Amino acid sequence: MIFTLCGSFNDKKEQHETAKRLLSYALYRETGMVYEQQKIKKNDWGKPYVSAFPQVFYSVTHCSGAVAVGIAPCRIGVDAENIRGFSEAVAKRVCSDKEFRYIANSTDRNRAFFRLWTLKESYIKALGVGFSFPMREANFEIDEKLNVKTSLCGCRFRLIENKHGLIIAACIMSDDDSVGSFMLCDTAHTEI
């Protein structure tokens, strides 16, 4: 389940606090867990998890104007970005040659880059290894309906965009087809 909340935040601290409230809401809604009462641990790369609930995985992301949380019974990663100008040097460092051609041939190169970037980030967050994973090794193809194809085995991806230039990508790592679908829960009008 992917929970999103869009709005304006006064500063990074408010954005971070909103993300924590959304995580708490999402975990309670999906599992009955009271997040604030749990002991949070981190793996060797700093990815947090709830030690008493090893079967519950979550990922949190935020960017200017949005926060998103993913909850799943398997490893999950979520990333959100606002479309803006990108660096070609960064694109060449993180994208395969085929992905770079996708960007270069796109009518909206910024959007094309951030589609790929958020997919790669969601995968890295699901792995839980930070930027130690070489991003060029995660390759993606995106069609006009935002369907995602990848060379990565045992992963499912969802790409979500809104009209305000926000892109959210989610990755679920599971070979179990019953875990393969994503539901988007828009919490924009929910009190958290």
Query: 60 lies in a domain?
Result: yes
Task: State the DSSP H helix or E strand holding residue 59, giving kind and residue range, or none if neither.
Answer: strand 57-63
Residue 33 has pLDDT above 70, yes or no: yes
13 three-class SS? helix
Query: 50 lies in a domain?
Result: yes
Query: 85 lies in a domain?
Result: yes
CATH number of the structural domain spanning residue 158: 3.90.470.20
Mean pLDDT, the chain, whole residue set: 87
Query: 175 lies in a domain?
Result: yes
Query: 192 lies in a domain?
Result: no
Contact 4, 158 (CB under 8 A): no
Query: 21 lies in a domain?
Result: yes
Q: What percent of the chain has pLDDT over 70?
A: 91
Query: 170 lies in a domain?
Result: yes
Section 97-121 average pLDDT: 96
pLDDT in tens, 71-91: 999 999 999 999 999 999 999
Most confident of 37-41, 179-183, 185-189: 37-41
What the block records as the tokens of 14 is 């408010």
Q: What percent of the chain has pLDDT over 90?
A: 64
Residue 182 is predicted with a pLDDT of: 55
Rounded Cα distance, 68 and 59, in Å: 8
- Range of lowest pLDDT (31-45, 74-88, 118-132, 167-181): 167-181
Which residues constitute the domain of residue 51? Answer: 2-186
> CA quadruple 131, 136, 137, 140: dihedral positive or negative?
positive
- Partners of 57 in the β-ladder: 72
Residue 188 is predicted with a pLDDT of: 43
| Residue-by-residue DSSP string for 61-126 | EEETTEEEEEEESSEEEEEEEE-----HHHHHHHS-HHHHHHHHT-SSHHHHHHHHHHHHHHHHHH
Q: Within its chain, how far is the Cα of 165 from the centroid?
A: 15
Under the banding of pLDDT at 50, 70 and 90, the label for residue 191 is very low
Our count of domains for the chain comes to 1
Residue 45 is predicted with a pLDDT of: 86
pLDDT in tens, 55-64: 999 999 988 8
Query: Which residue in 173, 180, 98 sits closest to 142, CA to CA?
Result: 98
**pTM for the full predicted model:** 0.88
Query: 83 lies in a domain?
Result: yes
Residue 192 has pLDDT above 50, yes or no: no
